[in-house]
Structure 1
Amino acid sequence: MLCGFNAPGQDIYVATSGNDANAGTLSAPLKTLAAALARVRVRKSANVTIQIRQGTYYLNEPLVITPEVTHSKVVTIRNYQNEKVVLSAGKRITAIWKQFSGPIWMAQVEADAFEMLFVNGKQQHLARYPDYDSTARVFNGTAADALSPAITSRWKSPAGGYVHALHSGEWGSFHYKIKSITNGTPELEGGWQNNRPSPMHPKERFVENIFEELNAAGEWFFDQKKKILYLIPEPGTDLNKAVIERSDLKHLAELRGTTTQPVRNVTLAGLQFMHTKRTIMEHYEPLLRSDWMIYRGGAIVLENTENCLVKNAALTNLGGNAVMFTGKNKKSGIIGSHIYQIGSSAICFVGDSSAVRSPAFGYEQFIPVDQIDRTPGPKNDHYPLQCFARDNLIHDIGRVEKQCTGVQIEMASEIRVSHNTIYRVPRAGINIGDGAWGGHVIENNDVFDTVLETGDHGAFNSWGRDRFWHPDRKTMDSLTALHPELILLDAQKTVIIRNNRFRCDHGWDIDLDDGSSNYHIYNNVLLSGGLKFREGFYRTAENNILINNSFHPHVWFNKSGDIFRKNILMRPYFPILVKQWGKEVDYNLFPNENDLKAAQLNGTDSHSIAGDAGFMDSEHGNYQVRQGSPALTTGFQNFPMNDFGTRIESLKKIAAKVQYPVLLNAELEKNMHEMTWLGVKIRNVQGLGDRSAFGLPDEKGIVVMDVPAQSLLSASGLQNNDVIITANQEKADNIVRLEGIRQQINWTGRMEVEVMRNQQKIRLTLNLK
């Protein structure tokens, strides 16, 4: 009988005012998407479109689309004529609010436990210690005493509270549920959200969902036993008139096929997805030997699909991941979407570990050599292939979980990540977790304000802890020398990183870490953190511009095959444990003769030269070089400077803009003599008078003029009239050099300096954050 409701060729319409007994036409729409999918199942036409009228649709369960629903049809689910359509994983709370005590209000709410609450569209904060601080760098506020007896002794019923903390190495975060606290000692459940086990960070931690910490506007607590919701509203909010919503479901839409029968040709277009639950305490799966554990879910889940698309969507106010491509997905992707204010990662392409030969699942694990499967490539096709993320705007993600990223690629092949704008992220903007199986193209992205809450990472980050890689360097050296055929068993296809603009002020702009192999990196503008190559093979970096920074080769292999050529540098190389300098390091432009000569002592750069690159308009982000630039004589070629990030006009209008750094070059050194640096007023040493007054060996260094009592550097022991002469074991001849050194190591949070004080040399450790 259902097939009689719609004639072939007609669209199916849904409206909040509809009725599921209706015909599903524009004038007689259905009420629910579940009913619309039931109509799709029995339709005989090859193309079916579900048109959704404006409004908010609170789903009782996720939309599940399987091959049995689509029956090989081309199915589109979209908003009608650009009307605003919200699919909510939450529930509307309608209750009578009464004043409880002071600023705290209360209401009886019949609901199971929930952890996300929204008032007039704005997320509120679970009662927490310390209080939410929008300006705090980590977790919007942390405290070393968050679990101290002095704090926990004031909690009457702490069970059900949460502890959130950074990894001790700042490599992501851990999350725990409080089971009990006995004699000041907490019993915690959790800590499985990171694949590099460690204690929680001693300082960067906070607790939440504790009634006694309900003391600030915008905070709330739900008593599950009494079914009472407590809330301190923000000034001017009438709770009895406000729209109040809570989270309820983990997922909103699931496209779930099988490896033999994928979901094909389904498009979700023009929809807004909101209010999913937090998933930090769900099952997390290790992603091989990367630092990642992951929950294979999100507001939208695509599992075993082909030619499926998320288009022009908005995903916001989510508790966990936004879009998860898991398992066997081919030619599926997401384009033109806005993802912001979410709990974890934005877009994930994650294959199944069954496709990996000789997999290992922890940093310290290694399959014995005689047991390694020597067959190249994947074992099966249960992984994303030729999928894509294009023209998306991604920002303010990882609000709960810090081991997250704008785009994650793991156990996948030929993923194209292009023209995305990504910023304000706690860790990497784009992350590749392993070498399996390469072929990705990362191009024309604009990625900045990255690694804001963690450390030792990059705007782009990768790992390559593949079959050849061993956690003990001596073992790995001998292994790769004896069995070089192991190196590219997983990293079969070259990963291309081109025409991007990256900025990381707390790490590297591009960080190829632990075994990352088979990369070609060219035509990129690196605005702050430079380029790092660690422990890998067959990587070529050419024709890149490294603003205020340089090349960071770390722990290279003999016969690595690495190439670094025709790049523009503004600092000397920063090698760590490099004895063999790869296949070719040459034809680069250094900022001065001293840096060039230092490089040539390594036996590299015989054809490199020194000089000012001569950028056309660095103040406005045009780093093309002028005619006659010495860079052009090295073989460097100009490339476009106006094609970074999303091309969708509506997204470009609302996207933040990257800040272009002041060039720390010879001209600035000549003209800048005084500045405020990390809150401290400093100036260059000037003339024989300063040399005599401060007892200096020469007329170089930085005079500390004024150290405010509350500044970080005052707490580090820096005093007025100190003269900084070295930083990070480098000569700090002037304030521009000092700032250049700081930018190299800012992510570490500290800087070792040598100062002259009362004509004596003193060593200090300066806290930078």
Structure 2
Amino acid sequence: MRGIKNLIIISVIFFASFLRPAGSNAQTNLYVSVKGNDRNPGTKNKPFASINGAVSAARKISGAVFIRLYGGTYYLSKPVVFTSADSRKDNEPLTLTNVDNQKVIISGGALLRGLNWTAFKNGIRQAKIAQDLVFDELLVNGKLQHMARYPNYDPSAEILRGTAADAMSKERAERWKSPAGGYVHALHSAKWGDFHYIITGKDTSGTPVLEGGWQNNRRSGMHEKYRYTENVFEELDTENEWFYNKKTKILYYYPPAGLDLKTAKLEIPQLAHLFEFRGTEERLVKNIIISGLTLTQTVRTFMQNKEPLLRSDWTIYRGGAVFYEGAVRCRLEKCVLENLGSNAVFFSNFNRNCEVSGCRISDIGASGICFVGDPAAVRSPSFEYNEYIPPAEIDLTPGPKTNNYPKDCKVYDNLMFNLGYVEKQSTGVELSMCSDIVVSHNTIYDVPRAGINVSEGTWGGHIIEYNDVFNTVKETGDHGSFNSWGRDRYWQADKKKLDSIVAERPGLALLDVVRPIVLRNNRFRCDHGWDIDLDDGSSNYHIYNNLCLNGGIKLREGVKRIVENNIMVNNTFHPHVWFKNSQDVFRHNIVGTAYLPIGIADWGREIDYNTFPDSVSLAEARSRGTDSHSVYGPLTFENPEKGDFRIKKGAAALSAGFKNFEMDNFGVVSVGLKRIAKKPIFPTVLVINNLTKDETIDFMGARIKNLTTAGEQSATGMDRIRGVLVLSVAPGSAASAFLQANDVILTFNRKQVGNLKDLQEARNAVAGKNTEIVIFRNQQQLKRKIEVKM
């Protein structure tokens, strides 16, 4: 047997010598086909059958090697693993790609064969499964089907595609004979991500018993309303649903009308990973490229999502369809990653100079691309929101303890959409315990939470530029298209103690984020939060030349943030509970409404040279001691309907130092990706001008007017022109407890408010009493209980 193996290796090298051109830039081509044979030499006419067969042969060949796959679907029984034995010299890479642009699909699924379908009942069909398979997801003719669930899958439902408060109630469970193995999925009680549970049975009272709920680092329980149950047999009651009985090995499926099960292709994902780069800092995997392939069908891993990412709200499953650890100068390029149950790409621990570029990443169960280092590289780490290190015990050495984290990597020209269809605490690009990552020219949209997320300050140096990020925070809350936390070694949840720590030793806030994080030349739109949200201690940022289309910019406490030359359309600057002597700077920006500060006693180093839409907003800012050199004037943009928000010549903003920046260079650059990428909806600019004839009045400290224009309707997201528009809210006023600029008042004291007169009459009727107000904000109605004083 050993002699046969040696003969095969000798044959491969012999044939490869004919394929390799002469000269120092020698190149070898090895071929793979689904119709090949691993005993073949890997030539064009006699290809290998497996990728592993070609990889093994490549290890024996010097010079650049191309493994070229003929078109077809390659079903993997295990991941393709690259180790240090596969490392290549610089300029002699190993490239895994297709033949002549043929479509090559690398699948972690299994094809169901020889099914004998018979009728079960009520349109449901059944078939015995002879194969020994994991049944986690089912795809029929390439389309993802749904585990039997309650409530049924509803593509029009914004949150979790359908929810019900009684999804796991005792009354509902009475229908279930044996629910063990079912799942409960729910949003976090505050909509900060989600939780997942497996049903282990029912207790003596008949209530489902759950195990799980570890998928969020803020474990305050599941949402009382936003939840659903799946993988329970009795809930199989509509088209495209399925259930697999593990004991009887019978698959039950409710096919849609017109589907021919005899010819349909049914596939079941089996693997969590497709490609793995398994190296260490001492034994690296170098110079390997995966290019031009379609990667699909990995299992969901939401029950393995347990590792906390320090004190951020996140936990993580450390894995993905393409997994990198100990990789240097490795690339994933021009690939399609779709229908993946977990993360698409994951860089774990030590990685250097790696890149993901030109890829389309869509229909992903969790996140698009993650960079996550080793917590052991963090000095004085804490792992839960309420944990903290006493100041006297903090390691005062700046930066990381080890090199075991991703650094100097790049995410460039990728189209990412329809992410997080299972896990809602997910994102397009996740940065945690890493440094110097470039995220450039990506288009990211249709995600349940942030498009780009920075979990903590460790260790900064990132450049986030020319990205187009929109349709974000679609299923969660209190977040932004770009989100960050800065819960680093100095941080703690007790705000008074935190303030005193930073006041005494402001340098502590910069021990982890040792290099500035740069956000520049991006376009953001968030309709359910902030366009840019720097939360909880986020420090050492330089934010400039960003176009914010709807949600404005929020800075919670932190130090050393420079925000300059940004445009905030129909929104404004949201400073929240800043540190004393934060050294923050906000200058040369354009805001669409008055600032909306909360709990600010110290306004940093410089808040000036900004542009407001009206004199009232500017006067309000100056009354707080800021913006002595700022200006106001009409926001005259070049062509906002087409997305060109450059300021016209002669506009007031130019006199305050604002400089126009390019408006046609956001997002992906590849021709093919640009052709299919969506664009954000460009808002009609809401012009607030105190010189207009529109009547404005004071309402409990808020300036309000009738909503009268199509621009105001578009900016607020109203269904039609009606109600009363909130122009601004004075800090500390009664209205500040329940109103924000750009709100629309719909009812007051249970009376419809069509105009100012309606609101005044309703208020006069309840002076000195408690009542109720209904407002429209972020495309949803909110009900508030308030007290109306005399």
Per the TM superposition, whether the score is higher than 0.5 is yes
Name the residue aligned to 1:88: 107
Task: Report deviation, 1:614.
Answer: 1.1
Residues 726 and 740 of structure 1: is their aligned pair in 2 closer, same or farther, counting only changes over 3 Å? closer
- Distance in 2, matches of 1:133 and 1:728, equals 38
1:74 aligns with 2:83: no
Task: Report deviation, 1:651.
Answer: 0.8
Task: Report deviation, 1:407.
Answer: 0.2
Letter in 1 for 2:16: A
Residues 196 and 728 of structure 1: is their aligned pair in 2 closer, same or farther, counting only changes over 3 Å? farther
Residues 665 and 727 of structure 1: is their aligned pair in 2 closer, same or farther, counting only changes over 3 Å? closer
Deviations 1:39-76 (A, max 9, x none): 12222x12111000100000000000001233656211
Name the residue aligned to 1:451: 473
Q: 2:772 aligns with which of 755, 763, 767?
A: 763
SS of equivalent to 2:120: strand
Task: Report deviation, 1:626.
Answer: 1.0
- Distance in 1, matches of 2:540 and 2:579, equals 14
Task: Report deviation, 1:111.
Answer: 3.0
Name the residue aligned to 1:149: 170
CA contact (8 A) 1:148 1:184 kept: no
SS of equivalent to 1:476: helix
Report the TM-score, using the length of structure 2 for normalisation. 0.88
SS of equivalent to 1:741: coil
Letter in 2 for 1:40: A
Name the residue aligned to 2:318: 296
Name the residue aligned to 1:355: 377
Name the residue aligned to 1:28: 46
Map 1:230-629; keep pairs closer than 5 Å. 230-629=252-651
Residues 485 and 508 of structure 1: is their aligned pair in 2 closer, same or farther, counting only changes over 3 Å? same
Structure 2: give runs of 5+ residues left out of the alignment. 1-5, 21-27, 709-716, 734-738, 746-751, 782-790
CA contact (8 A) 2:726 2:741 kept: no
Residues 18 and 235 of structure 1: is their aligned pair in 2 closer, same or farther, counting only changes over 3 Å? same
- Distance in 1, matches of 2:30 and 2:202, equals 55
CA contact (8 A) 1:548 1:740 kept: no
Residues 721 and 764 of structure 1: is their aligned pair in 2 closer, same or farther, counting only changes over 3 Å? farther
Map 1:187-266; keep pairs closer than 5 Å. 187-266=209-288
Letter in 2 for 1:171: W
Letter in 2 for 1:21: R
Name the residue aligned to 1:101: 121
SS of equivalent to 1:49: strand
Deviations 1:115-165 (A, max 9, x none): 110000000000000000001011100011111222111011110000000
Residues 533 and 351 of structure 1: is their aligned pair in 2 closer, same or farther, counting only changes over 3 Å? same
Deviations 1:483-534 (A, max 9, x none): 2231211111011100000000000000000000000000000000000000
- Distance in 2, matches of 1:368 and 1:3, equals 64
CA contact (8 A) 2:728 2:740 kept: no
Task: Report deviation, 1:613.
Answer: 2.5
Map 1:725-736; keep pairs closer than 5 Å. none
Name the residue aligned to 1:132: 153
Name the residue aligned to 1:56: 73
SS of equivalent to 2:450: coil
CA contact (8 A) 1:127 1:213 kept: yes
Letter in 2 for 1:241: T
1:742 aligns with 2:760: no
1:653 aligns with 2:671: no
- Distance in 2, matches of 1:527 and 1:568, equals 12
Deviations 1:550-607 (A, max 9, x none): 0000000111000000001111000010000000000000000000000111100000
Residues 763 and 105 of structure 1: is their aligned pair in 2 closer, same or farther, counting only changes over 3 Å? same
Name the residue aligned to 1:706: none
Name the residue aligned to 1:112: 133
- Distance in 1, matches of 2:240 and 2:474, equals 24
CA contact (8 A) 1:324 1:347 kept: yes
Deviations 1:643-697 (A, max 9, x none): 00000111111111110011111379969xxxxxxxxxxxx9899xxxxxxxxx9
CA contact (8 A) 2:705 2:727 kept: no
Task: Report deviation, 1:470.
Answer: 1.6
CA contact (8 A) 2:466 2:521 kept: yes
- Distance in 2, matches of 1:625 and 1:571, equals 17
Name the residue aligned to 1:46: 63
Task: State how many pairs are aligned.
Answer: 724
Residues 497 and 79 of structure 1: is their aligned pair in 2 closer, same or farther, counting only changes over 3 Å? same
Residues 730 and 556 of structure 1: is their aligned pair in 2 closer, same or farther, counting only changes over 3 Å? closer
SS of equivalent to 1:509: strand
Residues 320 and 741 of structure 1: is their aligned pair in 2 closer, same or farther, counting only changes over 3 Å? same
- Distance in 2, matches of 1:499 and 1:311, equals 24
Name the residue aligned to 2:143: 122
Task: Report deviation, 1:699.
Answer: 10
Deviations 1:296-319 (A, max 9, x none): 000000011100000001111111
CA contact (8 A) 1:462 1:512 kept: yes
- Distance in 2, matches of 1:667 and 1:649, equals 42
Greater alpha carbon shift after TM alignment, 543-552 vs 359-368: 359-368
- Distance in 2, matches of 1:276 and 1:115, equals 9
SS of equivalent to 2:603: coil
Name the residue aligned to 1:677: none
Residues 430 and 541 of structure 1: is their aligned pair in 2 closer, same or farther, counting only changes over 3 Å? same
1:179 aligns with 2:200: yes
- Distance in 2, matches of 1:657 and 1:127, equals 35
SS of equivalent to 1:402: coil
CA contact (8 A) 1:726 1:755 kept: no
Among all aligned residue pairs of Structure 1 and Structure 2, give the percentage whose two residues are the same amino acid.
48
Name the residue aligned to 2:714: none
CA contact (8 A) 1:219 1:232 kept: yes
RMSD over aligned Cα atoms: 2.8
CA contact (8 A) 1:388 1:416 kept: yes
- Distance in 1, matches of 2:548 and 2:638, equals 16
Structure 1 runs (4+) deviating above 4 angstroms are 667-671, 684-687, 697-703, 720-732, 751-754, 756-759
Task: Report deviation, 1:609.
Answer: 0.7
1:161 aligns with 2:182: yes
